[in-house]
Amino acid sequence: MTMIKWLKFPSLGDSRGSLVALESSEIVPFNIKRVYYLFDTKDNVTRGNHAHKKLKQVMLCIKGSCTVSLDNGFSRECVNLNSPINGILVEGLIWREMSNFTKDCILLVIASENYDESDYIRDYNEFKKSI
């Protein structure tokens, strides 16, 4: 079964342009506690390289694009995020890495929990043991 859980965000567009509203509902399937975004990422940088114990996230590129690699300890899948109306839901024990950021990339992350360093697994061997 694929780890890539696509979400499509309805665009409330009219003749003036487009608008996407993300609320805790069926669109974002958890209560939103935090929003953060990665931008101005330098060339050839890989970010992430960790798993979360409890955190659920929705990720989308509101500008530019990047590659997200998801690894459940048995297999790995990559997805290209390149649209402000399509994102992915990442939940469960998944090792994630983000790479191939375009210069203009803004990766928006909507999260189910406040920042908590103890929710991170930053060591791949520890991640494998946790599965």
Residues taking part in catalysis: 50
| Residue 53 is a binding residue for ligand T46 (CB under 6 A) | no
Rounded CA-CA distance 3/102 in Å is 24
| Residue 6 is a binding residue for ligand T46 (CB under 6 A) | no
Rounded CA-CA distance 120/8 in Å is 27
| Residue 92 is a binding residue for ligand T46 (CB under 6 A) | no
- Give the residue with the Cβ less far from ligand T46, 85 or 109: 109
Q: Distance between the two ends of the chain, CA-based, in angstroms?
A: 17
Q: Length of the chain in residues, anyone?
A: 131
For residues 18-47, which are near ligand T46 according to CB under 6 A? Answer: 34, 36, 38, 47
Which SS3 state, helix, strand or coil, does residue 112 take?
A: coil
Q: Give contact residues for ligand T46 (rule: CB under 6 A).
A: 34, 36, 38, 47-48, 57, 96, 98, 109, 115
